[in-house]
Amino acid sequence: MKNVLEWLENSSANYPDKVAFADVDKTITYKELEIESDILASYLINDEKIKEREAIAFYLEKCVDATVGIFATLKTRAFYSFIDLRSPETRQTKVIETLMPRVIFTDDANYSSALSLFDKYENVKIISLETLLQNQRKYRSEGNLEDLIDREKLVKIRHTALSNDPVYVNFTSGSTGTPKGVVVGHASIIDFIEVFIKTFDLNKNDIWANQAPFDFDVSVKDIFASISVGGTVNIIPRSYFSNPTVLMDYLVERKPTVLVWAVSAMCFVSIMNGFGYKVPTSVKKVIFSGEVMPIKQLNVWKKYLPEATYVNVYGPTEITCNCTYHVVDRDYDLKEVIPAGKAFENEHVFLLDDNDKEIREAGEVGEICVSGACLALGYYKDREKTNAAFMPNPANPEFLEMMYRTGDLGRYDENGLLYYVSRKDFQVKHMGQRIELGEIEVAASSKDKVERTCCLYDNNKKKILLFVMGDADKKELLEELREDLPSYMIPNKVIMIDEMPMTKNGKIDRNALKQVAGL
């Protein structure tokens, strides 16, 4: 197998009338998805002159129509890239300037915004995917299907396709302020998804409840794992994650069996007492990632869904979704951290010290590095950043083994399980001691009346700042922390906050907290 489209073709043949994707307003079966993406791909090739390995950008909310656009894009040998509608306009324009796509798909609701932002670029056409698909469906309903599909060109393009053709480019934050576009190809997705579905025993009877936006790689697990087995994906509107009763109503109605969610989404449900309203008892597997899962919040989920399997997965976008996993197999103390676990099959995850020597001893901290077929194809149009992050493994002198430096610190325990420690950026020197800010967060999160925490370091004033969401008393919290932490790790200032700001990827927005603190 060399192309993710084979999954769609197989599921279309085996489950033609089964719902592949559903949003609030619309559903589409596997057969309809196959046909509609053929029609749209033919249009892109013949009318818009899309060429192989070109970008097609999406400036719209995630929906059923967007999935048609994704598979049509892949049938042209192009790749897709979704723009975060809620990101600053300057970032959106930087992404488009990097991609310079021939086509930007939008929807009717966002068409005027797309026009005002991107119409200035030459050779970039802005198209309402919503209107285009409506017109194609209408024309097809009049009996003109064969006029709409250029099978000869689609077959020819497919025969020339390569396993390292890009599937998508997802943009992550760049340290210079310029977003980095991570390029991921067919081979990497196939390698990861096949292991993913085998590891967690996912099958045609599973129903996904998609939480992640399509510009975030967690959505890749929903979209491609489901089509590979003939499952169904329910696309949850982003707005539901600010209204717990609407979200829980939706989950109970749609009866999902699989949740592949960000930790922040799970914390939203538990902190807002969603389970006190309704419990979606259909859920059998909960796979979470993005941040360290607070044990207190996980325990709420386990209380209401005790029969579900809970899995912590870890990995940056650059290694295609995830590289390690750990099935939660026991109850954890509130001061403990769930392991990142062990490597997925066909992935090599290891630690390097400051001298690029591999670490094997338990307890010693090093940078988490990854090699294997999972590696991305680098950063789009940025050879310098690609070479800085993707490089030969210095611990392997025998042959060329490419690896990715994650920028994350980790350690092994006595059983060989990997633990995420922190970002290298979050390891600071304070009062002559090297400390991990994450250790302070875990200790604070274990206390009563504390919902979520985030720790920052003021380099100018040499002070530890602890942000706390909850009803805890600051003085009492500091007194309790003195029982758990050495004096040099006690926060110099506790800042109470009503709600943690979040990034588009569902992680705590540390830059926003820096602004709150005046850093």
Residue 423 located in a structural domain: no
185 to each of 66, 190, 294, 375, how far by Cα in Å?
Answer: 19, 9, 33, 9
Q: Are 244 and 192 in contact (CB under 8 A)?
A: no
**pLDDT for position 136:** 96
Instruction: Among 166, 183, 213, give the residue marking a domain's end.
Output: 166
pLDDT score for 209 = 99
Domains of the chain: total: 2
| Cα 308 to Cα 148, 247, 286, 300, distances in angstroms | 46, 19, 7, 12
CATH number at residue 14: 3.40.50.980
Q: What residue numbers bound the domain in which 476 lies?
A: 431-517
What residues have CB less than 8 Å from 405, skipping those under 6 apart?
A: 352, 367, 369, 389, 391
Instruction: State the residue for tokens 């002559």.
Output: 432
Contact 102, 54 (CB under 8 A): yes
Closest CA to 189 of 79, 53, 328: 79
d(CA 342, CA 412): 10
Distance CA 63, CA 50 (A): 23
Neighbours of 106 (CB within 10 A): 25
Residues ≥6 apart with Cβ < 8 Å to 484: 335, 443, 446
DSSP character at residue 348: E
Q: For position 174, what pLDDT does the model report?
A: 56
Whether residue 159 is contained in a domain is answered as yes
What does the alpha-carbon distance between residue 317 and residue 171 come to, in Å, rounded to a whole number?
9
What CATH number is attached to the domain comprising 496? Answer: 3.30.300.30
Q: Considering the domain boundaries, does residue 275 fall inside one?
A: no
Please check whether residue 164 is in contact with residue 188, taking contact to mean a CB–CB distance below 8 angstroms: no
Q: How many Å apart are CA 234 and CA 251, to the nearest integer?
A: 9
Tens digits of residue pLDDT in 356-415: 999 999 999 999 999 999 999 999 999 999 999 999 999 888 999 999 999 999 999 999
Residues of the chain with pLDDT under 50: 175
The reply to whether the predicted model has a pTM over 0.85 is yes
Is 46 within the bounds of a domain? Answer: yes
Q: Which of 134, 149, 166 marks a domain boundary?
A: 166
Whole-number Å distance between alpha carbons of 519 and 509: 14
Strand 166-172 relative to strand 180-185, pairing: antiparallel
The answer as to whether 58 is a domain residue is: yes
Who contacts 309 (Cβ-Cβ below 8 Å, separation ≥6)? 200, 284, 285, 286, 327, 328
**Of 166, 193, 219, which marks where a domain is finished?**
166
Residue 103: inside a domain: yes
Is 34 within the bounds of a domain?
A: yes
Asked if residue 416 belongs to a domain, the reply is no
**Structure tokens given for 22:** 């559903």
- Single-letter amino acid, residue 350: F
**What pLDDT was estimated at residue 173?**
72
Interacting residues of 83 by C-beta distance below 8 A, sequence separation 6+: 57, 58, 59, 92, 95, 96, 215
CA 200 from centroid of its chain's CA atoms: 18
